[in-house]
């Protein structure tokens, strides 16, 4: 079989590409295979850029800048990357709509950095290792029950994670 | 130096000992993390990046999980070394493109590692053999806890860990498995299977992440969502998706073996063994295709003059950067293909 690009050399390489979870095959000679560009990397990023491209209702935010790093929403729309931690705060509203559509959720449900709950109050002395050693499972369970009683579910989830980690260690 | 020493050390993930290794070559799990008060790498100035690199290296030195790790500054190694680290899956293409103020922390047996100043300040990752995402989660999460004891991470209770790209926000977790699907590919079922995975919220990609060229029927399956689900839930979902792939691939292999295609299958495998053991010029793509069929034959239990460990390792050692590292210098195409063929012949002599 001849190379699909130059149509001169024999095809010795089968290049396969995945687009939208579909594999397509391309039979090329070694020379043309080397020259073949890779598609842009992350499908999740491509999805995000498509989403941002179509987001006309969020145009109003386009001129606003993040006070911490100076990034504009319009910059984000081009690259799909934010500038800093502060951007999440600065663009909270338009981001929420994007996250909802892309991630199906706007609420974190995973772990948090080790340290005393509630975040972000960080202890001034000691490392996470020492803190974990002095805090027993019973202490954490008491705190968990207290948090549940007060309906502070975020804190409860963090405590539950810490209890799991304590058990694992 | 460090990097050529790595060439002699066997990567943990190339061993054919992990669960489901007949289909799942390796599992990989990473957590994206950033420091508070510094712009994310795509927008950071050199000073910021240098400060981040310094504090992450210091934090890694203090973390028990990374106590024996090597800390490599990418601007202190040459281009061949950097390419080598990419092929070893310790660094991404994006990371080595701008080596200034970028680095990698490499743990023992290359299971745990940390990329510094890639798209995020930290990408803490674990790679091991077979389907082992739960085990990797506990190891990577422990390293994360230890690092966060001395780093002030950008986190909010509302949206979780801040990441440069909102596709990673929340847990910052991506769990993936590198799967070998020659049976599904040969029986023309691979598209249907991958589409079903897509509908189940998974992303299927080509070999080794960055590019989308699929070599030797190796695919990577990963979670699409990072927010609104816990780390354990993500790992469970990816694990279940991979298990379903393993079942489909095993079924396809059995059908090929017992159906009319058996002779065709044997022909492919033995033809590949012949090429690997006798050819004089072998490109990387060609090597991957032949190694893929050799791997298929071995996992079907056929008596071939090779073993799975060697074949797995050769998928890594055949890469251009590894071949050049072996030569100790940069090589042009034909010289590289000649050295690769020599390497393959030496390792797979009958
Ligand atoms: Zn051609
Ligand atoms: Zn910002």
pLDDT averaged over every residue in chain A? 70
Give the pLDDT score at A150. Answer: 67
- Judge whether residue B211 has pLDDT over 50: no
Give me the DSSP letters along B166-226: TTSTBT-EEEEEEEE-HHHHHTT-HHHHHHHHHHTTEEEE-TTSSS-EE-TTEEEEEES--
Q: How far is B39 from chain A (nearest CA, A)?
A: 5
CA A27 to chain centre: 35
B300 close contact with A: CB closer than 8 A: no
Count Cβ atoms within 10 A of the Cβ of residue B263 and give its class: 0-12 exposed, 13-18 middle, 19 or more buried: exposed
Q: In angstroms, what is the span from residue B203 Cα to ligand 2's centroid?
A: 29
For the beta sheet containing B213-214, the strands, ordered from the edge strand earlier in sequence to the opposite edge, are A22-28, A13-19, B213-214
Q: List, for residues A78-95, the tens digit of each pLDDT value.
A: 888 999 999 999 999 889
The total number of residues shown for chain A amounts to: 169
A 10 A CB-CB count for A101 gives 13
Which segment, A34-43, B3-12, B233-242, B328-337, is predicted with the most confidence on average? B233-242
ipTM of the complex: 0.85
- With vertex at residue B28, the alpha carbon angle to CA B95 and CA B318, rounded to the nearest 5 degrees, is 70
**Range B299-316 average pLDDT:** 88
The larger pLDDT score, comparing residue B104 to residue A117, is at: B104
Q: Is B334 on the interface with A (CB under 8 A)?
A: no
Most confident among A149-153, B11-15, B135-139, B320-324 (mean pLDDT): B135-139
| Tens of pLDDT, residues B186-202 | 888 988 888 888 888 89
List B106's β-bridge partners, or say none: B70, B113
Alpha-carbon distance A55 to A80, whole Å? 13
CA dist A99 and A107 (Å) reads 9
Q: What is the model's pLDDT at position A31?
A: 72
Q: How confident is the model at residue A127 (pLDDT cuts 50, 70, 90)?
A: very low
Which ligand is located closest to the Cα atom of residue A32? Answer: 1
| Domain ranges, ordered by start, for chain B | 2-253, 260-349
Distance A2 CA to ligand 1 centre (A): 8
pLDDT at B218: 87
Contacts of A88 in chain B (CB under 8 A): 156, 159, 162, 169
pTM for the full predicted model: 0.77
Q: Can you name the CATH fold of B2-253?
A: Creatine Kinase; Chain A, domain 2 (3.30.590)
Per-residue pLDDT, B337: 94
Q: Is the dihedral of CA B163, B166, B171, B176 positive or negative?
A: negative
- Indicate whether B35 pLDDT > 90: yes
Q: How far is CA A108 from the centre of its chain?
A: 11
A135 chain-B contacts, CB cut-off 8 A: none
Of the candidates A9, A48, A47, the one whose C-alpha atom is nearest the C-alpha of residue A28 is A9
| Residue corresponding to tokens 């502060």 | A86
Q: Using DSSP bridges, classify how beta strands B202-205 and B122-129 pair: parallel, antiparallel or unpaired.
A: unpaired
**Angle made by CA atoms B240, B122, B148, in degrees to the nearest 5:** 90
Lowest mean per-residue pLDDT among B26-40, B84-98, B331-345: B84-98
* Closest CB from B138, B211, B227 relative to A108: B227
Cα–Cα distance, A68 to A55 (Å, whole number):
24
Write the Ramachandran bin of A4: left for phi over 0, alpha for psi from -120 to 50, otherwise beta: alpha
Using pLDDT thresholds of 50, 70 and 90, give the confidence band for residue A97: confident
């Amino acid at each position: 079989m001849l190379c699909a690009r130059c149509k001169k050399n024999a095809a010795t390489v089968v290049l396969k590409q995945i687009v939208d979870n579909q594999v397509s095959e391309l039979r090329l000679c070694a020379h043309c295979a080397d020259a073949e560009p890779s598609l842009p990397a992350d499908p999740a990023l491509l999805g995000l850029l498509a989403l941002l491209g179509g987001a006309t209702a969020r145009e109003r935010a386009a001129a606003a800048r993040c006070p911490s790093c100076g990034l504009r929403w319009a910059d984000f729309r081009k690259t799909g990357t934010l500038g800093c931690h502060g951007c999440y705060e600065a663009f909270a509203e338009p981001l929420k709509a994007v996250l909802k559509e892309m991630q199906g959720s706007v609420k974190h449900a995973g772990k948090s950095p080790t340290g005393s709950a509630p975040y972000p109050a960080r202890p001034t002395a000691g490392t996470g290792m020492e803190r974990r050693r002095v805090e027993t499972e019973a202490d954490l369970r008491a705190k968990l029950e207290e948090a549940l009683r007060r309906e502070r579910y975020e804190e409860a989830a963090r405590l539950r994670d810490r209890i799991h980690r304590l058990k694992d260690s | 130096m460090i990097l050529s020493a790595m060439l002699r050390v066997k990567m943990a993930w190339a061993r054919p000992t992990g669960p489901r290794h007949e289909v799942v070559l390796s599992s990989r799990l990473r957590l994206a993390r950033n420091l508070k008060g510094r712009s994310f790498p795509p927008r950071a100035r050199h000073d910021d990046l240098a400060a981040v690199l310094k504090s992450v290296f210091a934090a890694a030195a203090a973390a028990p999980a990374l106590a024996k790790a090597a800390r490599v500054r990418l601007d202190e190694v040459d281009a061949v070394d950097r390419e080598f680290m990419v092929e070893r899956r310790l660094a991404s293409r994006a990371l080595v493109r701008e080596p200034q103020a970028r680095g990698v922390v490499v743990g023992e047996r290359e299971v745990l590692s940390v990329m510094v100043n890639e798209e995020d300040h930290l990408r803490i990752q674990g790679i091991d053999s077979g389907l082992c995402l739960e085990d990797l989660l506990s190891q990577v999460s422990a390293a994360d806890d230890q690092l966060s004891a001395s780093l002030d991470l950008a986190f909010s209770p509302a949206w979780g860990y801040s990441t440069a790209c909102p596709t990673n926000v929340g847990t910052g977790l991506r769990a993936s498995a590198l799967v070998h699907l020659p049976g599904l590919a040969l029986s023309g079922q691979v598209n249907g299977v991958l589409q079903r995975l897509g509908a189940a919220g998974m992303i299927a990609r080509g070999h080794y992440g960055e590019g989308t060229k699929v070599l030797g029927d190796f695919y990577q399956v990963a979670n699409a969502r990072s927010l609104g689900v816990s780390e354990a839930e993500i790992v469970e979902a990816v694990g279940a998706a991979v298990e379903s792939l393993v079942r489909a691939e095993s079924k396809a292999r059995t059908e090929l073996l017992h159906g009319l295609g058996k002779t065709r299958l044997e022909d492919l495998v033995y033809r590949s063994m012949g090429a690997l053991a006798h050819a004089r010029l072998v490109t990387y793509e060609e090597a991957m295709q032949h190694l893929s069929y050799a791997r298929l034959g071995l996992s079907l239990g056929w008596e071939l003059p090779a073993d799975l460990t060697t074949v797995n390792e050769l998928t890594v050692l055949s890469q251009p950067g590894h071949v050049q590292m072996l030569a100790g210098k940069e090589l042009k195409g034909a010289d590289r293909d000649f050295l690769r063929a020599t390497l393959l012949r030496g390792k797979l002599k009958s």
